[in-house]
């Protein structure tokens, strides 16, 4: 704990040096004064609060809300001075709001703690004291040797020591880290690869020196020093030796590795962004409105205080005969009296700030969030997954999205590759019923039904079967016949690959007759039309993003040394000196136009002298400790030249259902879509074209492969110039991770200018933290757009947490994205309904709810202010204290809450079929200054009508005054304080409830019940409250007042007349605006109404929609019915 505090204060940096030294199995040197380095434990923490900081941290966050802080001040004022109302009127609602919110946020964080404990408590096996010890994940220490079995997830970042294979290799999938579900091969150093048992590993004496933790998933620099027979062997360690936490072991029975990075220092954890409290734009608007209302409140309080003292300047009003001052009051300081009076007025008018607004908003968000989970249109039947809400605070933000940042693999695509076409020796082929058929030939034509392969075709297919990193499921390679039955027909092989393209190509080759049957040591086995052939694997030239190709050097059964190469056409065709280069280039372009992922295949024969030379060069480069990567790149370029082109392949990455329609709908709604992927440049562009993110007519601009700041800046300026010149056509921008880093370092403004003028942006080769940086760049730009990030892997967590709204896809890549998201859906296509229907409804509902609350509180407190002009500013309340307390809690709360849950101003099908309606609510249109001003002025207007209408109509009616009160001629006394106040209050309750009814477009029986029920409840309560003498009340001011009021016919006339007068102008304004200046939404409403009338289905429609909402209240009915809201 002390060390943590010191680290936070900066006195004890966690890492003193640039490297860390790890003694395997924690065998520290016994000699000298060795001080072990301190490393983090292996606990993962994604929660926000702890038991110790929950109360202070949560209270701090809650009192950042203007209304909460304000009511705290009012409560303290009421405790300190004598005020017109009790401290309970402010303290109790405040306590209720704080408690409810704390419970809700505490519960959400408890769920995160639960998920963390599940991860940290997972069982693991560690080598200790010569045996395997079972322990919990959180107990792993740096230096421990950990055993991981097949299909298990790595609990820490490990350096691979050995596997069940002789060569020390293993295969992992990093789907949850970088979004790639393909297999990657990792290898141990030869000296540790042979240590395959616990006993042998326990004898290992070795030291690892490596860099301190960093977030880059693809970078690791280290070395291992192994002590063997009195000598020390030093081997370099790179990314191929590092197994990352979160990755999964595949196609390998078990591995042993040493823990190098643990807990929050693992690369996976370093790529997580710390979880911060997200606040919606509506909440920020609410805070702005509250500040304006605070200014109004202060103005009213100061004005009232000044007028009180101006009035009391006359001696007869300063101390009238019926209200003589005490000796203490006469001698008290005038300044203190002024402050005390100001605070008393502040308390009297404080109800203009509605604390119950926050309670209602919290309830609306919490209850409203259930609709997303209950909507069967967001339910995915194949996986039995329904939409999930992790944070209900951001519902309305779904209606304000301007930018969508999406991952590619597993989000836009299914990550399932299918072979479609290929070009061999200048001839295009397609696969027809398991046969390779030239284009234009049918299966029935003479050349279409062949049982043999031509020489070029066979060589091409062998190249495809040999040039890859595909592995076969270990269970299928056992037995004498391998994967072949006695009749010579192949049983289905289960392939694992480092690239989904490779897997699709090897599977396609096996279907047409050339089958890769596995590797045995350094031998690759192939069966060509049933005839087995063995190739010795001599070297693998691994794929890298700069070369954009991979190669293998093999020895054929005849002893020939062959190089087989495959890669992007831009990296293969310029290096080819023979073959059908021009024809193949045309075919590749045709494949790309169809949205297929293309690869070119070539080969080269080596003479014995040439092979000797390249073998020597490769050995030197691979064992170099300095500049190893550069030296290897030079050797690879020397080898991969003078190629003979064999052909090209076209593979389709299966897109998720309705991806193109969804992206097009987002574009129509005014939402810009950015694709952020860790994938290769060509792959990403290909998928962008096929999913409709890039159009064929779009001018694609590229900012890729820049190594220096100057070239990047120059390219950005050229792109900006091109966009300016060709402003008529649409532009799409492609940028890679390295170029992006350079652009953001010095030229952020120019980069943003280029991006904003592009219709679509694609960022490829992105590290997880780079994704978050791009989202933050847009978020913090001057326009402050609302951003949404959607992804399915742990590599997307950072951007999901950075965006205003984060959505996780429940895909095949684990649950990290779903756990850290605000909402989770099963498929990308569900995003359209989530935004256009749910988002639209949530925003409209909460915008009306917020402004209506301010309106009804202005109506409520303005008569109280006006009344002070008639009572010498004596701080007398117009309303009874029970009415003051119950106005927001009981009399006017339910209609607006039900409205905010059920309102459907346009039918959901119309909203989804017309994405352009989403533009009507963009940029917080319904909570801008104009709508706010309208509602505020309306509130003041209605308040004046309530007060002066009641005063003018009832001021001279003495029939009410049966208790013997007589009006004075100057009418300053009026006809009784409580009777007049009750009349104003009655008119007010009816008017604000009717105003809510006018705003409601979609009526259900619940709306009718709470709207008319609220008015009836007010009347029943008032009769009951005023009809009995309550023994526990200090005063009986309201006794028989309401009965008296209702016994007067003129009172009923006044109520009806004032309510009509208030609402008439509002109705006229609505009608005129609707017909003279209708919005797109209002036009859609009118079209819907006309359609309903012409089809004579009004009753059936309302019944259907009413049933929908009944289902909404009864989740148990979900499996049998569908709720559309």
The SS3 assignment for 515 reads strand
Q: Are 41 and 141 in contact (CB under 8 A)?
A: yes
Backbone φ and ψ for 886, nearest 5 degrees, come out as -90, -10
Burial environment of residue 237 by CB neighbours within 10 A (0 to 12, 13 to 18, 19 or more): buried
Burial (Cβ within 10 Å: 0-12, 13-18, ≥19) of residue 487:
exposed
Whole-number Å distance between alpha carbons of 736 and 990: 62
Minimal CA–CA distance to 202: which of 133, 124, 130? 130
Structural element, H or E, at residue 134: strand 131-136
| Residue partners of 459: CB distance under 8 A and separation at least 6 | 603, 646
Q: How far apart are CA 260 and CA 244, in angstroms?
A: 10
- Give, in degrees to the nearest 5, the angle at Cα 1010 between 1006 and 1012: 115
CB neighbourhood size of 1112 (10 A): 21
Catalytic one among 407, 736, 796, 822?
407
Strands (DSSP E) contained in 792-912 are: 805-809, 823-825
Reference 958, options 1055, 1023, 1022, 1051; nearest CA is 1051
Cβ atoms 930, 872 nearer than 8 A = no
- What is d(CA 737, CA 325) in angstroms, rounded to the nearest whole number? 79
Beta strand residue intervals within 1055-1124, DSSP E: none
> What span, in angstroms and rounded, lies between the C-alpha atoms of 160 and 143?
12
**Which residues, 6+ apart, have CB-to-CB distance to 137 below 8 Å?**
42, 119, 120, 121, 122, 123, 124, 155, 156
Give one word for 28, left, alpha or beta, with left for phi > 0 and alpha for psi -120 to 50: beta
Classify residue 320 as exposed, middle or buried by CB count within 10 Å of its CB (0-12, 13-18, 19+): exposed
Are 766 and 678 in contact by the 8 Å Cβ rule? The answer is yes
The number of beta carbons lying within 10 Å of the beta carbon of residue 885 is 18
Half-sphere exposure of 907 (CA within 13 A, CB side): 18
Contacts of 229 (CB under 8 A, 6+ apart): none
Catalytic (active site) residue 444: no
User: What's the angle, vertex CA 534, arms to CA 529 and CA 539, rounded to 5?
Assistant: 125
> In degrees rounded to 5, what are phi and psi of residue 98?
-60, -45
User: Cβ distance 183 to 496 under 8 Å?
Assistant: yes
Q: Which residues participate in catalysis according to the annotation?
A: 407
């Amino acid at each position: 704990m002390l060390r943590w505090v010191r680290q936070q204060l900066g006195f004890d940096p966690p890492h003193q040096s640039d490297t860390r030294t790890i003694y395997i199995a924690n065998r520290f040197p016994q000699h000298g004064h060795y001080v072990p380095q301190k490393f983090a434990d292996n606990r993962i923490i994604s929660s926000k609060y702890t038991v110790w900081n929950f109360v202070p941290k949560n209270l701090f966050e809650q009192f950042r809300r203007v209304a909460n802080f304000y009511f705290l001040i009012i409560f303290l004022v009421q405790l300190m001075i004598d005020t017109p109302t009790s401290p309970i009127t402010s303290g109790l609602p405040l306590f209720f709001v704080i408690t409810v919110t704390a419970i809700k946020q505490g519960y959400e964080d408890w769920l995160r703690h639960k998920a963390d404990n599940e991860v940290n408590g997972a069982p693991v096996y560690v080598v200790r004291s010569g045996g395997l010890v079972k322990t919990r994940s959180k107990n792993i220490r740096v230096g421990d040797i950990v055993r991981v079995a097949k299909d298990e997830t790595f609990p820490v970042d490990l350096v691979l020591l050995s596997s069940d294979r002789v060569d020390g290799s293993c295969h992992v999938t990093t789907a949850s880290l970088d979004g790639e579900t393909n297999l990657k091969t990792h290898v141990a150093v030869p000296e540790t690869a042979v240590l395959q048992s616990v006993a042998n590993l326990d004898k290992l004496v070795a030291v690892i020196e490596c860099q301190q933790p960093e977030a880059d998933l693809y970078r690791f620099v280290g070395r291992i020093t192994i002590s063997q027979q009195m000598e020390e062997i030093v081997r370099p360690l790179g990314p191929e030796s590092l197994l990352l936490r979160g990755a999964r072991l595949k196609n390998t029975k078990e591995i042993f590795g040493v823990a190098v990075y643990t807990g929050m220092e693992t690369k996976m954890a370093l790529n997580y962004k710390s979880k911060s409290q997200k606040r919606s734009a509506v909440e920020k608007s609410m805070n702005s409105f509250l500040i304006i209302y605070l200014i109004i409140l202060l103005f009213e309080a100061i004005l009232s205080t000044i007028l009180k003292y101006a009035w009391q300047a006359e001696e007869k009003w300063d101390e009238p005969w019926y209200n003589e001052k005490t000796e203490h009051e006469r001698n008290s300081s005038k300044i203190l009296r002024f402050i005390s009076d100001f605070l008393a007025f502040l308390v009297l008018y404080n109800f203009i700030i509605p604390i119950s607004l926050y309670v209602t908003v919290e309830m609306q968000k919490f209850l409203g969030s259930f609709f997303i989970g209950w909507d069967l249109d967001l339910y995915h039947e194949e996986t039995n997954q329904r939409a999930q809400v992790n944070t209900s605070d951001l519902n309305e933000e779904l209606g304000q999205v301007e930018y969508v940042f999406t991952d590619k693999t597993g989000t836009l695509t299914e990550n399932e590759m299918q072979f479609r076409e290929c070009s061999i020796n200048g001839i295009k082929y397609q696969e027809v019923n398991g046969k390779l058929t030239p284009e234009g030939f049918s299966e029935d034509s003479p050349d279409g039904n062949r049982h043999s392969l031509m020489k070029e075709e066979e060589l091409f297919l062998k190249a495809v079967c040999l040039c890859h990193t595909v592995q076969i499921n270990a269970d299928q390679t056992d037995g004498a016949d391998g994967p072949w039955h006695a009749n010579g027909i192949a049983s289905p092989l289960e392939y694992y690959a480092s690239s989904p393209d490779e897997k699709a190509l090897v599977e396609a080759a096996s279907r047409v007759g050339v089958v890769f049957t596995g590797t045995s040591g350094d031998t690759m086995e192939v069966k060509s039309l049933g005839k087995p052939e063995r190739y010795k694997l001599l070297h693998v030239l691994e794929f890298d993003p700069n070369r954009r190709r991979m190669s293998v050097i093999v020895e054929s059964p005849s002893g020939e040394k062959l190089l087989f190469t495959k890669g992007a056409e831009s990296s293969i065709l310029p290096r080819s000196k023979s073959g059908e280069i021009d024809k193949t280039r045309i075919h590749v372009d045709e494949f790309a136009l169809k949205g297929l992922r293309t690869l070119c295949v070539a080969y080269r024969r080596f003479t014995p002298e040439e092979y000797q030379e390249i073998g020597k060069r490769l050995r030197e480069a691979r064992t170099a400790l300095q500049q190893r990567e550069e030296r290897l790149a030079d050797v690879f370029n020397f080898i991969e030249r003078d190629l003979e082109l064999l052909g090209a392949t076209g593979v389709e990455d299966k897109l998720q259902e309705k991806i193109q329609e969804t992206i097009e709908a987002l574009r129509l709604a005014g939402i810009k879509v950015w694709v952020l992927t860790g994938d290769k440049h060509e792959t990403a562009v290909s998928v962008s074209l096929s999913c409709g993110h890039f159009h064929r007519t779009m001018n694609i601009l590229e900012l890729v492969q820049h190594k220096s700041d100057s070239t990047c800046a120059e390219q950005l300026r050229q792109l900006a110039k091109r966009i300016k010149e060709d402003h008529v056509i649409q532009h799409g921008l492609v940028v890679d991770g390295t170029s992006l880093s350079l652009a953001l370092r010095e030229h952020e403004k120019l980069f943003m200018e280029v991006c904003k003028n592009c219709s679509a942006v694609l960022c490829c080769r992105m590290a997880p933290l780079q994704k978050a940086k791009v989202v933050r760049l847009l978020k913090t730009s001057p326009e402050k757009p609302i951003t949404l990030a959607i992804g399915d892997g742990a590599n997307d967590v950072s951007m999901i947490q950075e965006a205003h709204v984060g959505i996780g896809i429940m895909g095949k890549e684990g649950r990290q994205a779903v756990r850290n998201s605000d909402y989770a859906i099963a498929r990308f296509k569900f995003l359209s309904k989530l935004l256009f229907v749910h988002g639209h409804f949530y925003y409209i509902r909460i915008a009306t709810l917020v402004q209506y609350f301010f309106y009804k509180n202005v109506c409520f407190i303005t008569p109280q202010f006006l009344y002070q002009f008639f009572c010498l500013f004596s701080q007398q309340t117009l309303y009874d204290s029970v009415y003051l307390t119950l106005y927001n809690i009981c009399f006017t709360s339910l209609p607006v809450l039900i409205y905010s849950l059920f309102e459907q101003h346009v039918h959901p099908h119309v909203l989804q079929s017309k994405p352009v309606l989403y533009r009507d609510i963009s940029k917080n249109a319904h909570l801008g200054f104009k709508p706010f001003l309208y509602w505020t002025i309306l509130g003041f207007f209605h308040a004046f009508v309530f007060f002066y209408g009641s005063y003018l109509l009832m001021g001279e009616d003495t029939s009410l005054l049966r208790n013997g009160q007589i009006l004075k001629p100057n009418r300053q006394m009026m006809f009784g304080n409580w009777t007049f106040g009750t009349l104003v209050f009655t008119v007010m309750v009816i008017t604000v409830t009717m105003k809510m009814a006018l705003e409601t477009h979609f009526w259900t029986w619940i709306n009718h019940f709470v709207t008319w029920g609220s008015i009836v409840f007010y009347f029943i309560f008032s009769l009951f409250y005023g009809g009995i003498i309550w023994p526990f009340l200090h005063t009986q001011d309201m006794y028989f007042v309401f009965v008296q009021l209702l016994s007067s016919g003129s009172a009923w006339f006044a109520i009806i007349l004032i309510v009509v007068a208030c609402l008439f102008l509002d109705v006229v304004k609505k009608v005129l605006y609707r017909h003279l200046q209708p919005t797109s939404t209002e036009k859609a409403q009118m079209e819907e109404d006309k359609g309903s009338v012409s089809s004579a289905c009004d009753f059936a429609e309302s019944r259907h929609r009413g049933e929908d909402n009944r289902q909404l209240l009864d989740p148990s009915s979900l499996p049998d019915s569908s709720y559309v809201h």
